[in-house]
Amino acid sequence: METNKTIIRQTEFGGERPLFASHHLRLEQVTIHAGESALKECSDIDAVKCRFEGKYPFWHVDGFTVKDCKFTEGARAALWYSKHLDMRDTLVEAPKMFRDMEDLSLTNVNLPNAAETLWHCKGIRLENVEADHADYIFMHCQDIEIDHFKLNGNYSFQYAKNIVIRNSTLNTKDAFWNTENVTVYDSTVSGEYLGWHSHNLRLVNCHIEGTQPLCYAHNLVLENCTFGPDADLAFEYSEVRADVKGHITSVKNPRTGSIQAGSIGEIIIDQNIKAPADCKISTT
């Protein structure tokens, strides 16, 4: 425990800005009731076993830890315009969390209502995190490291860049659209229209499910991946180097590169293929 911090324990606050512009503060078993901006413009804050019910509790905060806490649905948009966050062992029921933030780490965090969460953030680390109802999560984020992440929510990682994901399960339609520099290891990615218009997307030891994956992609790389039976019409208009183990239901009009698979049910090359139209397709 930090000895130079003012300690507030087992008390309650409500209303507008009850702890505005506080610094070097430790909250233990504190409840923040309905109201707004409880800890706005603060720095060096610890919150342990606290409950947050009011809106916007952490805005413009520099340096804070949140451990074993709960953010109820009423604490929407709780962490914005802040930096240097370490959040652990916490339940976040509120939507629209983490906006315009820098240097944030989430460990053992559950977000059951993660719609429009993590927008315009950079320097993100996730470990053992679950996010449900997470439509549009990670919009315009960058510099992301993820391990053991369970995601249920569509349109994830749009316009994000510089991402490494490991050991994760992503159930998400329209994932990785317009992304740059993304590598996914040892994961399952399930959802329609994966990775369209991406740049430098690399999938290693991954399982891919959902129709029309990996189209319009630039410098797309697959290493030792597998496809589900519904992952059809793959690679349309993509620049691709793919090593796929097992069967691909169908491949359509890849623009250039090479595709190798155990077997391919249908190869569709028609008059609409785009130049240079020289992709090498082979089966083993």
Neighbours of 12 (CB within 10 A): 12
pTM for this one? 0.96
81 assigned to some structural domain: yes
In terms of Cβ atoms closer than 10 Å to its own Cβ (0-12, 13-18, 19+), residue 22 is: buried
* Mean pLDDT rounded to a whole number for the chain: 97
Tokens of 226: 């597998």
76 assigned to some structural domain: yes
The count of structural domains within the chain is: 1
20 assigned to some structural domain: yes
Tens-digit pLDDT profile for residues 22-44: 999 999 999 999 999 999 999 99
92 assigned to some structural domain: yes
17 assigned to some structural domain: yes
107 assigned to some structural domain: yes
The pairing of strands 58-59 and 43-48 is unpaired
Q: What is d(CA 68, CA 48) in angstroms, rounded to the nearest whole number?
A: 6
- At residue 174's C-alpha, the angle toward residues 170 and 176, to 5°, is 70
| DSSP string for residues in 151-196 | EE-SSTTTT-EEEEEES-EEE-TTTTTT-EEEEEES-EEESSSTTT
Q: Which domain holds residue 48?
A: 1-113
Q: What is d(CA 222, CA 201) in angstroms, rounded to the nearest whole number?
A: 8
Tens-digit pLDDT profile for residues 143-152: 999 999 999 9
Tens-digit pLDDT profile for residues 252-278: 999 999 999 999 999 999 999 999 999
Q: What is d(CA 24, CA 199) in angstroms, rounded to the nearest whole number?
A: 43
DSSP state of 119: B
Neighbours of 21 (CB within 10 A): 11
229 assigned to some structural domain: no
The pairing of strands 122-131 and 239-252 is unpaired
pLDDT at 2 over 60: no
pLDDT at 245 over 50: yes
51 assigned to some structural domain: yes
DSSP state of 98: -
Tens-digit pLDDT profile for residues 155-185: 999 999 999 999 999 999 999 999 999 999 9
Task: Identify the CA nearest to 108 among candidates 135, 167, 152, 68.
Answer: 68
pLDDT tier at 3, thresholds 50, 70, 90: low
pLDDT tier at 101, thresholds 50, 70, 90: very high
pLDDT at res. 1 = 44
Three-state secondary-structure class, residue 270: coil
